[in-house]
Structure 1
Amino acid sequence: MMSPHWTKPLNWNLTRHLLPRFTELSESRPWRKQLLMRSQLLDQAGHWIHSLKHLWRSSNLANKIVGLKSMAAHRSGLEIDPSVSKVDAEDGLRKELATRRPLRITNKNLFDYIFIHSLEIAVEFHLPMQIHTGFGDRELGLRHCTPFHLRAVLEDKRFVKCQIVLLNASYPFSREGSYLASVYSQVYLDFGFAFPKLSVQGITSSLKELLERAPIKKVMFSTDGYAFPETYYLGAKWARDVVYRVLSAACEDGDLTIQEAIEAVEDIFRRNALHLYKLNVFHEKTTSIDDNTISSSSCLGKDDVILVRMVWNDASGQHRCRALPAERFYGIARNKGVGLGIAAVGFTSFRDAPAVGTNLTCAGEEIRLVADMSTLLRIPWSRNEEMVMVDMLTGSGEASEYCPRNALRKVTKVLLDEFNVTVKAGFENEFYLLRKSFSEGHEHWVPYDNSSYCSTSAFDGASFMLKEAHSCLKAAGIVVEQMHAEGGNGQFEIALKYVLCTLAADNQIYAREIIKSIARKHGVIATFLPKPDLNELGSGCHVHLSLWKNDQNVFMGSNKYNYHGMSNTGERFLAGVYHHLPSILAFTAPHPHSYDRIQPNTFTGAYLCWGKENREAPLRTSCPPGVPPDFVSNFEIRSFDGCANPHLGLAAIVNAGIDGLRRGLKLPPPTELNPADCASHERLPHDLLGSVEALAADKIFHELMGDKLVTSVIAMRKVITTSRHALQYTVFICS
C-alpha cells in the first residue's frame, strides 16, 4: 500500500540479492535448473529476514509505504504461533524446496515466522498491518480463517501497539471481527471485500454485525476492486447504498441521531483511513456551505461560469429552466433570449401538453424567454453555474399576457399609479424533510424526525442543512428572519424578510430552489406539498403584506383613522381581499392537495372571516413587536401554499385589494373566536373546483391580470381536478 504522494515503483535492484525469488520457481523450467535455484535459496534463507529488516532501517523505505498486508489466512490459516522459531521456519522451507512441483508456499511454520517478523517491522516503523480474514482461497478450510485465531498474536506483548486491520469484513465471521475490535484497542475493521461479492442482503447483514460492537472510529471501507474498473465503481456505489440503509435504520431505531449518522459516514468513508494510515491528503470540504465558502465563490470571475440556468415558474406552479453554456448565454441569449413554444405555458404539472380550454396549441406563436439580469445569481451549491429569472416576451418584444412576472408588475403599477401605494411581502415557508428508509425490502420516504413544534432536538438534527440553506439564501441576497421546527414530524419553517412584492415573488422561487437543492445534496427530500400526509399538519407559505407610501406604512392606523388598528387605506385594501378570497384561492391554493390542508381547527383558515391575531382565520392582522398594541402593521394570508406560483398569487391579492380601494369596500367585524364554532361564518370552497368556479364568475381578475392568462389558469385548474394522474405527479411541483 503506497502513500499517494509516492507513486514510483520500488527500486528492487537494491533488494534482489536479499529476497528469495519465489516467482521464478513457479515458472516452467527444466527440473535440474529448479533444483539448483532451490539449493541457492536454501543457502540464503538463514540471513534473509535479518537482511530485510536491515534494508528497512538503512533506507527511507518506511517513509514511502503506509502499511503492510498479509495473505496468511489464505495460505496457512490464522492460527499464528507467535513463538515459532527460526529453526522451525528453516525446516519448513526445506520441506517446501524438497517437493517436486512448482513452488507455492503453504508450510505453516514458514508462514508464521515471516508473519511474526513482518509484525515486528510494522511495530518498529509504526505501520498498520492489514490481514485478510474470512473467505478467500478455496484451497484452505474456512474454519482456519476466523479472526478469533489471532487472539494469541493480539495478546502478545510485542504487538499490543501494532495496529491490525481485519479485511473482508471478516465475512462470514463479521460478528467475531466486531467483537475483537471492541475489546482489543489495536484492532480495526475494513469491510471492502464484501463488495461486490455478496448480495445486498448479505452486505447489509455483514455491516450490521460489524457495527454491533465495533466503535465506528475503527470501521473503514475500501472497494478492494481488481482487474476491471467496474469493480471499483460498483464497490463504491453499493457501499454507499448499504451504509445508508444500515445507518438510517439505526436512526429510526433511536441508536443514532441524524447528525451522528452523518459523522459516522465521514468516519467510515474518509476520516478513519486518513488517520490510521497517516495520509496527508488534501480534502476539499464539500459537505456543507458556509458564509466563508459563499464569499470566496462569489468572487470568482465570469470566466469560470460553465452553465447559466434560465428559470421561470409557470401557471401550474412548476419550476422550470433552460440551461445554456455560458458563452452562448452571454454571447446571444442574454439579450435575445431563447424560444419557447406558446403551448408550453399551458402545460400542467403532470402532463406536458396544454390543458383543454387554454386555447393554446403547438401551432401558436413562439414566446421568447429573456433574462432579467437584475436577478442574476451565482448558484451557491453548484460551483460554475448561475441562474437568472426570465420574462416571457412576444416575438415583437412586448410582454406576453401569459407571463406571471408581468401580471404582478401590471397590477402593482396600477396600484402605484392610482393610489401611490406599493406592497411589501414576506413569505413564511413551511416544508417537510423526508429521509429514505428501507422496510421489508422496499424503499420508503419517512419524516426526518419525530419531534414537536419548536423542538431543539429537531432543529439540532437538521441544523447542518438549515445553516447551509441560510448561507445560500444570504448569498442570494435573501434575508432570513427566523427558522424553527414546525408542528409536523420532520416539518420546518424558514421565514423571509418582507421586501417589495415583485422582489418577494422572485425570492420565493429562489428560496424553494435553494432549500430543495441543499436537502437533495444531503440525500433528503424537502417537500412544500400542502398535505404530504393526511395524518400530519399541512404546510403553507403564509405571506404577510403591508402597504407603503413615501416610505411610510399606510396599512397601519393613526390617530385620525383607526379601524381595529388599520388605516382607511388598509381597511379598504383588506376588504377587497376578503371579498374576493374564494377566487384568490384558485391562485394561492392551486392543487387538490391544498384543500386537504385548508380544514377547520388546523390553523389554515377554512372559513371566510378575518381577525386580529386569530390564526384560525384565513386573513389575520398582525401586531409584531415594536408596534403599539392598538395598531396593526400588516396582514397575513394563511391560505397560500407551496404549490402556488408566487407571482400569480400576489398578483391576485393586489388585484383584489385594488378593487377594494376603488369601491371603498368595508370589512365586517373581526372574528375573535374559532370560526368553526360560529355558525354565521361561510365556509371557504371545500375543493379546488369550488375556487375555480368562484374565479370564473369573478371578472375583476380578467381586467387587470389579463383575460388570456386567467382563462388558461381556470382551464389548467379544471383539468387537475378531474385527472387521476394529478396527485401522483404532485411531487414534481413541490419536492
Structure 2
Amino acid sequence: MSTTTAEQGSFDASAHGSGSTGLPDGRPAGEPIAERLPAADARADRAARARVAAARLSAEGVEGVILSWVDNAGLARVKTVPVRRLEHAAVWGVGAAPCFDVVLVDDSFTTSHHIGGPVGDLRLIPDLGRLTKLAGQPGWAWAPADRFDQDGSEHPGCQRRFAQRMIAAAAARGLELRAGIEIEWVVALAGPPSEPPVYPSHGPAYGFNRLIDLSDYLRDLLHALDEQGLPVLQLHPEYTTGQFEVSTAPEDPLGAADTSVLVRQTVRAVGARHGLRTSFAPAVEAGGVGNGGHLHLSLWRNGQNLGKGGPGPYGLTGENESFLAGVLAELPALLALGAPSPASYLRLVPQHWAGSFQCWGRENREAALRLIPGPAGEGAGSANAELKCFDLTANPYLLIGGVLAAGLAGIDARRSLPTEVPEDPAVRPEGEIPRLPGSLAASLAEFRTSGLLREALGEPLFEAVGAVRQAELELFARHTPDELAAATRWRY
C-alpha cells in the first residue's frame, strides 16, 4: 500500500531547488557527461572539476568515493576509489566487466546474444554533478557512473545512458518530465538471512506507536537525507509490519533515478547503524502487502504543467493525455522493466493497492495509472500521474527510459485514454477490466514482442534484459511463494 505525496502534500515541482530540470552541476537534463573519453578538452575539464571536488571532500574527512551502477536484475553494484584517485577516475574511468549486464539476483550469470562471458572491460565514469558526501556512511562519498567502452564510445548496455537518450528525445520535442520514485521498505532486527524477519515494532499501520518505537532511527534518517541535499516531502509508517515510506521532491528524470539509488543506500546505511536490516523487496513475506516503487511523473512544456488547463480528462492537455495513454497501453511489456522479479508478482495482486489492473482513474489506488489533479487552488505544479504497478526491484534508469519511450510513442500515435474506471476494478465482472500480467513469464512474453521497447533500448540492452528475466524465471521455477520471498528478501 502507499500514501502518496499528493495525500499529505503536493507533487510540487518547485520543491527541489528552483524547479529547474537541469542537473546539479548546471548541465541540462539528458546532456551527455562526455562525448568520447579521448577528447583532450573534455578530459581537462573533468580533471579540473574532480580536483576541486576531491580537495573539498578530503578536507571534510572523506576517504573513499563509491561509484555505482544498477544491473539488469535491479541491484546496485559498486567500485570504489580513494578520494585522491577521483581525478583519475573522472578522466579515465574505473574498470568493470561487461558481464555484469547479465548477472542475476543470486550473483550467478547468464549470457545473451551480445553481452556475456569473461572477455572485455568497460570504464565507469562518475557523474561529478551528482557527487555526494554520504551522511549515513562517514568517510565516504558517492557518485552514479555511466559506462563506456575502452575506446570511449558509449557502452550499448549502459542503462543510465539509455535513460539520458530518452530524456534527450523528449527535450528535442520541447518536453520535460519531472519525476519521483516512492521508496517503501521493511526493517527487521539484524540477524542471519536464513531466519524469518524479527520486527522491531508491531505498531498498527500508519500508527503513532511505530513512529515512537523507531523514533531515533527515523530522526537520523531525516537528518542524513537533509545533509545529502535530498528534500523530503514526507516520511511515515506504512501498512505492513515494520514498513515505512519516504517521498522526496520531484526532479528531472535522471535525477529522480539517481535519487532512488541514493535514498535506498542511505536508508540501509542508517538502519545498519541502528542494528536494523532493510528490505526493499516486493514481498518480504508471501501473502502480505509488499514494497512498491511507484513512479510519479508530470509532463511540462515551456514551464507549464501539461496536466492542467487542457480540454482532456481533469484538465489534461491532449499531449499529456496521449503520453499517459501510450504508457498505459505499453504497461504489460513495461512490467518487465518496472516489476522485473518473479517476486514482483507476489505483490502485484488485486485489492492490495498495487495497481494490478490495466486501467486509469482519478485518485484510484487500485488502477495501474492513478491520475492526481492536486488540491483545488494549489496551482498547476501539483498535478501528476502515479504508476502504481512498479516496485524497487526495477533498475530505475530502465524504468524511466522505458516509460518515456512509451509516452513519446503515445504522443506520436495521438492516443486517447480509455474510459475511466472510477471504482475498484476488482468489483467489476471478471474480464471486464484487463488485468496486467500476473507473472514474470507473461510480462516477459509481452516485452519480447514489443518493437517499441526493442528499438528504444537497442538490441544489446534489450537482449540482455530478456536474458536476465528468463534466467531468473528458471532460477526460481521450483520455488514456492514462501521460498521465493525468502530467497529475495535481503537481496533488495
Shorter-chain TM band: 0.7 to 0.9
1:398 CA drift (Å): 2.0
- Supply the distance in 1 between the matched residues of 2:271 and 2:107 (Cα, whole angstroms): 26
1:378 CA drift (Å): 1.0
Residue 567 in 1 paired to residue 317 in 2? yes
1:329 CA drift (Å): 2.9
Corresponding residue for residue 404 of structure 1: 159
CA contact (8 A) 1:557 1:632 kept: no
TM-aligned CA distance change 1:630 to 1:407, over 3 Å: closer
TM-aligned CA distance change 1:341 to 1:678, over 3 Å: same
- Supply the distance in 2 between the matched residues of 1:532 and 1:368 (Cα, whole angstroms): 35
Give per-residue Cα distances to partners, 1:205-248, cap 9 Å, x unaligned. xxxxxxxxxxxxxxxxxxxxxxxxxxxxxxxxxxxxxxxxxxxx
Give per-residue Cα distances to partners, 1:534-574, cap 9 Å, x unaligned. 2421110111100111221112233xx23233111110000
Residue 343 in 1 paired to residue 99 in 2? yes
One-letter amino acid matched to 2:312? N
- Structure 1 runs not aligned, ≥5 long: 1-297
Corresponding residue for residue 180 of structure 2: 426
TM-aligned CA distance change 1:366 to 1:459, over 3 Å: same
Corresponding residue for residue 656 of structure 1: 406
- Supply the distance in 2 between the matched residues of 1:315 and 1:515 (Cα, whole angstroms): 22
CA contact (8 A) 2:336 2:440 kept: yes
1:729 CA drift (Å): 4.4
Corresponding residue for residue 669 of structure 1: 419
Q: Which of 73, 87, 108 is the matching residue for 1:316?
A: 73
- Supply the distance in 2 between the matched residues of 1:368 and 1:631 (Cα, whole angstroms): 39
Residue 381 in 1 paired to residue 139 in 2? no
Corresponding residue for residue 450 of structure 2: 698
Corresponding residue for residue 369 of structure 1: 124
Corresponding residue for residue 647 of structure 1: 397
Residue 518 in 1 paired to residue 276 in 2? no
Corresponding residue for residue 688 of structure 1: 440
1:528 CA drift (Å): 0.6
Aligned 1:625-636 pairs, distance under 5 A: 625-627=375-377, 633-636=383-386
User: Which has a greater percent of helix?
Assistant: 1
- Supply the distance in 2 between the matched residues of 1:346 and 1:444 (Cα, whole angstroms): 29
Aligned 1:42-441 pairs, distance under 5 A: 301-302=58-59, 304-330=61-87, 332-353=88-109, 355-417=110-172, 419-436=173-190
TM-aligned CA distance change 1:723 to 1:569, over 3 Å: same
CA contact (8 A) 1:430 1:491 kept: yes
Residue 599 in 1 paired to residue 363 in 2? no
Corresponding residue for residue 359 of structure 2: 609
CA contact (8 A) 2:156 2:461 kept: yes
Aligned 1:426-465 pairs, distance under 5 A: 426-436=180-190, 444-465=196-217
CA contact (8 A) 1:427 1:497 kept: no
1:652 CA drift (Å): 0.9
| 1:499 match: secondary structure | coil
1:718 CA drift (Å): 0.8
CA contact (8 A) 1:566 1:631 kept: no
CA contact (8 A) 1:346 1:360 kept: yes
Corresponding residue for residue 58 of structure 1: none
Q: Greater CA deviation, 649-658 or 618-627?
A: 618-627
Corresponding residue for residue 10 of structure 2: none
CA contact (8 A) 1:436 1:444 kept: no
- Supply the distance in 2 between the matched residues of 1:707 and 1:473 (Cα, whole angstroms): 38
TM-aligned CA distance change 1:666 to 1:349, over 3 Å: same
- Compute the TM-score of the two structures, normalised by the length of structure 1: 0.56
TM-aligned CA distance change 1:485 to 1:362, over 3 Å: same
- Supply the distance in 2 between the matched residues of 1:398 and 1:319 (Cα, whole angstroms): 23
TM-aligned CA distance change 1:529 to 1:358, over 3 Å: farther
- Supply the distance in 1 between the matched residues of 2:120 and 2:453 (Cα, whole angstroms): 25
One-letter amino acid matched to 2:237? A
1:494 CA drift (Å): 0.6
Corresponding residue for residue 43 of structure 2: none
Corresponding residue for residue 262 of structure 1: none
| 1:494 match: secondary structure | strand
- Compute the TM-score of the two structures, normalised by the length of structure 2: 0.83
- Supply the distance in 2 between the matched residues of 1:410 and 1:345 (Cα, whole angstroms): 19
CA contact (8 A) 1:310 1:322 kept: yes
| 2:354 match: secondary structure | coil
1:429 CA drift (Å): 1.1
- Supply the distance in 1 between the matched residues of 2:156 and 2:114 (Cα, whole angstroms): 13
CA contact (8 A) 2:176 2:301 kept: yes
Corresponding residue for residue 224 of structure 2: 472
1:732 CA drift (Å): 4.9
One-letter amino acid matched to 1:401? P
TM-aligned CA distance change 1:483 to 1:632, over 3 Å: closer
- Supply the distance in 1 between the matched residues of 2:452 and 2:203 (Cα, whole angstroms): 45
- Supply the distance in 2 between the matched residues of 1:632 and 1:504 (Cα, whole angstroms): 17
| 1:304 match: secondary structure | coil
TM-aligned CA distance change 1:436 to 1:569, over 3 Å: same
Aligned-pair identity in percent equals 27
CA contact (8 A) 1:356 1:719 kept: no
- Supply the distance in 2 between the matched residues of 1:357 and 1:415 (Cα, whole angstroms): 30
- Supply the distance in 1 between the matched residues of 2:383 and 2:346 (Cα, whole angstroms): 30
CA contact (8 A) 2:182 2:294 kept: yes
Larger Rg: 1
One-letter amino acid matched to 1:396? D
1:413 CA drift (Å): 0.8
- Structure 2 runs not aligned, ≥5 long: 1-54
1:716 CA drift (Å): 0.4
- Supply the distance in 1 between the matched residues of 2:91 and 2:464 (Cα, whole angstroms): 28
CA contact (8 A) 1:605 1:615 kept: yes
Residue 530 in 1 paired to residue 282 in 2? yes
Give per-residue Cα distances to partners, 1:564-604, cap 9 Å, x unaligned. 33111110000000110001100110101111101011111
Say which structure, 1 or 2, has more relative contact order (CA 8 Å, 6+ apart).
2
Corresponding residue for residue 233 of structure 2: 481
- Supply the distance in 1 between the matched residues of 2:361 and 2:138 (Cα, whole angstroms): 47
TM-align CA RMSD: 2.3
Q: Greater CA deviation, 722-731 or 453-462?
A: 722-731
- Supply the distance in 2 between the matched residues of 1:664 and 1:697 (Cα, whole angstroms): 22
CA contact (8 A) 2:308 2:380 kept: no
1:389 CA drift (Å): 0.9
Residue 638 in 1 paired to residue 382 in 2? no
- Supply the distance in 1 between the matched residues of 2:147 and 2:190 (Cα, whole angstroms): 38
CA contact (8 A) 1:404 1:647 kept: yes
Number of positions where the alignment pairs a residue of Structure 1 with one of Structure 2: 429
CA contact (8 A) 2:323 2:410 kept: yes
1:453 CA drift (Å): 2.3
| 2:267 match: secondary structure | helix
- Supply the distance in 2 between the matched residues of 1:632 and 1:583 (Cα, whole angstroms): 29
One-letter amino acid matched to 2:116? T
1:473 CA drift (Å): 1.3
- Supply the distance in 2 between the matched residues of 1:675 and 1:316 (Cα, whole angstroms): 31
